[in-house]
Structure 1
Amino acid sequence: HTTAIGKGVLAHLPAGEVGDLVAATGLPGRTPNTLTTPQALYAQLAAVRSLGYAIDDEENEPTIRCIGAAVLGPSGRPVGGVSVTTVTFLVSREEIESYAPALRAAAEALAPLL
């Protein structure tokens, strides 16, 4: 729940499975930006499904910004992910979001290989 790949994968799991994971592990905060309530996480996962990618904007580590997308297997279930990680002082949020089309294309290109 604190990384772009993690949110990308969670967004493509059945809601009940995500709920079970949240109940079992909680949503511990790693930075002040970490999503720590189920409502915030579920809202973000809905956005991830709509956009096709997730952002970690200093949610896992200070000064680290990441964009990630799930790689889906033949059944549509996530089997992994691809991401680009950078530091906040080199790449803005707007710039990393501009990587989304290439990132989604890379994730889609990997899917048939799995």
Structure 2
Amino acid sequence: MPTSSASTTDAAKPAATGGVQSLERAFDLLERMADAGGEVGLSELSASSGLPLPTIHRLMRTLVACGYVRQQSNRRYALGPRLIRLGESASRLLGTWARPYLARLVEETGETANMALLDGDEIVYVAQVPSKHSMRMFTEVGRRVLPHSTGVGKALLAHVPPEEVRALLSRTGMPAATDKTITTADGFLGALEQVRAAGYAMDDSEQEIGVRCIAVSIPDSPTAAAISISGPAGRVTETAKETIVPVLQGIARELSTALASTTAGVPQG
């Protein structure tokens, strides 16, 4: 049949990268769905991707059959539950892989180092290397927190459009963890302006009294990620910050380069 022949040809067609075009298109559609909030219609995907509707329909049908996408009762498509297992495994691996960089942060700053991701509306900590001080901060790997009261949350949201930040805050609310927690959207957006101007974010007793956290996002990361150090306010002083910030920024750039090399593709032999 002509339709079957066209499908076979399309599936086998090589991509510009040397890979399989249909596979690249399928992953592109998944990423576009994630960018759109996890649920889209076929016409929206066609408009954003430039692919014809029959091609998108065929790819989505395959993704539904594999469990990576599900079709809603309103005929729109949503990301499927099978992606959760992949995401959790990838987060654990990313945390394990990042530990040597966090260990260097501890060696150079003396404070506990963390790596966190933006997962939906929440911050999730995926890796930590503790300080060698007897008095040190500890955040359980896998812990989820709201972004408005954390340094990593500010770092991760600093370059998100303000209307999207407001929408996130309206969904999560802004409960006060301490009397220093920012509890208004305008106040938080003002703090994000300071982050963009300074090149780093700070949580000064906003999550826990007496604890300071300094954080930077990892530039050009394929998923929104940040690294931070946290310690007692008596050690993470303004003077110490002048030394800590350049170290954080330098290691974040190294992480960015390393991430780029792992996502550049498999060398062709």
State TM-score, norm by structure 2.
0.39
Of 206, 227, 233, the match for 1:59? 206
Residue 28 (structure 1) shift: 1.1
Of 10, 31, 38, the match for 2:185? 38
Instruction: Give runs of aligned pairs for residues 1-114 of structure 1, distance below 5 A.
Output: 1-73=148-220, 79-92=224-237, 94-98=238-242, 99-114=244-259
Q: Do the aligned partners of residues 91 and 74 (structure 1) sit closer, same or farther apart at CA in structure 2, a change above 3 Å counting?
A: closer
Residue 110 (structure 1) shift: 1.1
Residue 91 (structure 1) shift: 2.9
Greater share of helix = 2
Taking the aligned partners of 2:172 and 2:216, their CA distance within structure 1 comes to 22
Q: Equivalent pairs: percent with the same residue?
A: 35
Structure 1, gaps ≥5 residues long: none
RMSD between aligned residues: 1.6
Residue 90 (structure 1) shift: 2.8
Residue 74 (structure 1) shift: 5.4
Q: Do the aligned partners of residues 66 and 31 (structure 1) sit closer, same or farther apart at CA in structure 2, a change above 3 Å counting?
A: same
Q: Do the aligned partners of residues 95 and 79 (structure 1) sit closer, same or farther apart at CA in structure 2, a change above 3 Å counting?
A: same
* 8 Å CA contact 1:67, 1:96 repeated in 2: no
3-state SS, counterpart of residue 67 of structure 1? strand
State TM-score, norm by structure 1.
0.88
3-state SS, counterpart of residue 177 of structure 2? coil
Task: Give the count of matched residue pairs.
Answer: 111
| Larger Rg over CA atoms | 2
Q: Relative CO higher for 1 or 2, CA cutoff 8 Å, sep ≥ 6?
A: 1
3-state SS, counterpart of residue 183 of structure 2? coil
Taking the aligned partners of 1:111 and 1:28, their CA distance within structure 2 comes to 32
The amino acid across from 2:239 in the alignment is E
- 4+ residue runs over 3 A deviation: none
Structure 2, gaps ≥5 residues long: 1-147, 260-269
